[in-house]
Copies of this chain bind each other. A is one copy, B any other.
Amino acid sequence: MSSTRDIDALIELMAKLPGLGPRSARRAVLHLIRKRALLLTPLSDLMQTVAATARECLNCGNVGTADICDICTSEKRANGELCVVEDVADLWAMERSGVFKGRYHVLGGTLSALDAIGPQELRIPRLVDRIDTEGVTEVILALNATIDGQTTAHYIADQLEDRVRLTSLAQGVPIGGELDYLDDGTITAAMQARKSL
């Protein structure tokens, strides 16, 4: 039957989103159809707007609606601190915490021999350029505590040493975290970095 073809196609596309499989895509589409005015139509409109306006910042890789993002154009954020993250979701997480007042550099992934991802694919040359052009004095390597993340951090540190102060996020027990739920590596790191009360 052809009349439900669009609905089937919508389910198929929705199932391609990270976090949604075929079953949750079907549930989502039924929910959208039920909430047509409140959800489906506004969602379609917003997607169209975002498809037309969203772009990657040419300087840092953040996602926004201008060629150069708000953070890169804000003079307030030019405090000499540059926080290097793997992807935009990490940048957004940092911004939600409100703790960091400098600028970002989004790598767009990690170095990976297996996936043939080298420095060129990760905006690392641009990162090196920014040290001079933006008067960066400290680079905070806020990469994930995975093997690829740490390999990438070491590579960047090699490129930048003697040019800026290099730091990384402290490792330890998360606020509210229960020891019993933590992996061994986190407990080890937290123990090794223990502080006097």
| Chain A residues in the interface with B (C-beta under 8 A) | 1, 3-4, 6-7, 9-10, 13-14, 16-20, 23-24, 26-33, 36, 39-51, 53-54, 63-66, 70, 87-89, 92, 180-181
Closest chain B residue to A10, Cβ basis: B46
Are B50 and A6 in contact (CB-based, < 8 A)? yes
Q: How many identical chains are in the complex?
A: 2
Minimum Cβ distance to chain B for residue A178 (Å): 11
- Chain B residues closer than 8 Å to A42, beta-carbon distance: 13
Minimum Cβ distance to chain B for residue A142 (Å): 17
Q: A6-B46, A19-B20, A27-B18 are in contact. Are A36 and B51 (CB under 8 A)?
A: yes
- Chain B residues closer than 8 Å to A88, beta-carbon distance: 30
- Chain B residues closer than 8 Å to A4, beta-carbon distance: 63-65, 70
Docked Cα-Cα span, A66 to B7, in Å, equals: 12
Partner of A19, one of B27, B41, B65: B27
- Chain B residues closer than 8 Å to A40, beta-carbon distance: 47, 50-51
Minimum Cβ distance to chain B for residue A73 (Å): 10
Minimum Cβ distance to chain B for residue A57 (Å): 11
- Chain B residues closer than 8 Å to A47, beta-carbon distance: 10, 32, 40-41, 43-44, 47
A-B contacts, 11 listed (Cβ < 8 Å): A1-B70, A4-B63, A6-B49, A6-B65, A7-B54, A17-B32, A18-B31, A30-B63, A30-B87, A41-B48, A41-B51
Docked Cα-Cα span, A134 to B59, in Å, equals: 67
Partner of A50, one of B10, B27, B87: B10
Are A24 and B19 in contact (CB-based, < 8 A)? yes
Minimum Cβ distance to chain B for residue A16 (Å): 6
- Chain B residues closer than 8 Å to A65, beta-carbon distance: 3-4, 6-7
Closest chain B residue to A46, Cβ basis: B10
Q: A13-B46, A64-B3 are in contact. Are A28 and B19 (CB under 8 A)?
A: yes
